[in-house]
Structure 1
C-alpha cells in the first residue's frame, strides 16, 4: 500500500496550467493539483507536474 505524503496548501500556481499547487512536505516539492477529467466526467488523476522553488522539476 503506497504511503500518503503530507501535503500543505499554498498560494503557488502551476506556471503551465495556472491552477493551484500543494506543497509536498516529504519531497520538498510543489505539486500541481488540477484534476484531469475524462470526457465522461470521471476524475482520472491530477496534472501532477512537480516544481522546486517555482522551477519545473523533471
Structure 2
C-alpha cells in the first residue's frame, strides 16, 4: 500500500512568528526547570555532606 504524500502546512508569517515564540518560551521554561532541579540536587548533596562531616567530627 502506498503512503499518502505529506502535505506541508501553509502558515502565514504571523502564525510562524507565534509558533517560534511558543517554541522559544517552552525551551526557556524547560531550561529554568532543569536549573531549579540542579540547584535543589546541589543543595541536597551539600546538606548530606555537611551532616556526614558533623557525624565524623562528633566521633572524634
Tell whether the structures are fold-level matches, with TM greater than 0.5. no
Name the structure with the higher helix share: 2
Taking structure 1 as the reference length, what is the TM-score of the superposition? 0.18
TM-score (norm 2): 0.18
Q: Which has the bigger relative contact order, CA under 8 A and spacing at least 6?
A: 1
Q: Which of the pair is proportionally richer in strand?
A: 1
